[in-house]
Amino acid sequence: MNSFLAQLRTAALLTLVLTVLLCGAYPLVVFAGAQLAFPAKANGSLITDATGTVRGSALLAQLFTSAGYFHPRPSAAGNGYDAANSSGTNLGPTSQKLADAITAAVTAYRAENQLAADVAVPADAVTSSASGLDPHISIANARLQAARVATARHLPPATVAALIAAHTEDRDLSVFGEPRVNVLLLNLALDQAR
């Protein structure tokens, strides 16, 4: 009986120690380290405007539909751009539903941006990302939208092209991924360029 109580006491003590370490001390150290090393990223990479109002996160796409804004990739997250329901379409390359959706998206993209039928539409303009919340578009996608945005905002095309160039992010570590443009940051820059 004494052996059983000793084992029970040891188990209870070990549970208490591990609970304090793994549910208290470890998360606190990770939180404090993140706040010290990269506080903006640890707090969601929130973007604020000149008045201090949070406009969004540099990490999450949001819907822009006005002709005067660059549009993000399509989203399959929930009802669209829903961070609580992040997901892709789960449709495979042989899916007729995916093929039909892409065909419709290409037609809509060409009409919206007044593109000729022979202009190649970038894949990121008509397909959602794996998360449905990718905040970036390709440079080709941004350049094809530039004329529409310039016309809607009554800006010279060169001004819009310069903003795209200024907001182009390079490959990660100069090797991974492709150069890209963050849609939210670019659209906020457009609002300041008026």
Query: Is the Cα torsion angle 172, 177, 181, 183 positive or negative in sign?
Result: negative
What pLDDT digit, counting tens, does each position of 38-61 carry? 888 888 888 887 788 888 888 888
Mean pLDDT calculated for residue range 72-78: 86
* Angle at CA of residue 169, ends 165 and 174, nearest 5°: 125
Residues 10, 54, single domain; the answer is: no
Based on the domain organization, do 89 and 23 belong to the same domain? no
Q: What is the pLDDT of residues 96-125, one digit of tens each?
A: 999 999 999 999 999 999 999 999 999 999
Q: Are residues 143 and 158 in the same domain?
A: yes
This prediction's pTM: 0.80
pLDDT in tens, 161-172: 999 999 999 998
Q: Could you tell me which residues come within 8 angstroms of residue 56 by beta carbon, excluding any fewer than 6 positions away?
A: 46, 47, 62, 184
The three-class DSSP label of residue 175 is coil
Looking at residue 179, its pLDDT comes to: 94
Report the candidate in 185, 179, 168, 149 with the shortest Cα–Cα distance to residue 61.
Answer: 185
Residue 150 is predicted with a pLDDT of 96
Per-residue confidence (pLDDT) for residue 194, from 0 to 100: 67
Full domain range(s) for residue 151:
46-192
Residues 60 and 34 in one domain: no
Model confidence at 4, pLDDT cuts 50, 70, 90, reads confident
Average pLDDT, the chain: 91
Same domain, yes or no, for 156 and 187? Answer: yes
Residues 26 and 54 in one domain: no
Q: 13 and 52: one domain?
A: no
Which H helix or E strand runs over 78?
none
Please indicate, yes or no, whether residues 30 and 82 belong to a single structural domain of this protein: no
User: 17: exposed, middle or buried (C-beta count within 10 Å: 0-12, 13-18, 19+)?
Assistant: exposed
Mean pLDDT of 62-85: 87
Instruction: Please state, for a pLDDT cut of 70, what percent of the chain lies above it.
Output: 99
Q: Are residues 32 and 119 in the same domain?
A: no
Do 129 and 87 share a domain, yes or no? yes
**Residue 130 pLDDT class (50, 70, 90 cuts):** confident
- Are residues 183 and 135 in contact, defined by beta-carbon separation less than 8 angstroms? yes
Q: Are 51 and 106 contacting, i.e. CB atoms less than 8 angstroms apart?
A: no
pLDDT at residue 8 is higher than 80 = yes
Pairing of strands 168-169, 46-48: unpaired
Answer yes or no: do 124 and 80 share one domain.
yes
Residue 133 pLDDT: 86
Residues 112, 168: one domain? yes
- The tokens for 187 are 């659209």
Which residue shows structure tokens 């160039």?
Answer: 165
Number of domains, the chain: 2
**Mean pLDDT value across residues 64-88:** 86
Residue 151: predicted pLDDT: 95
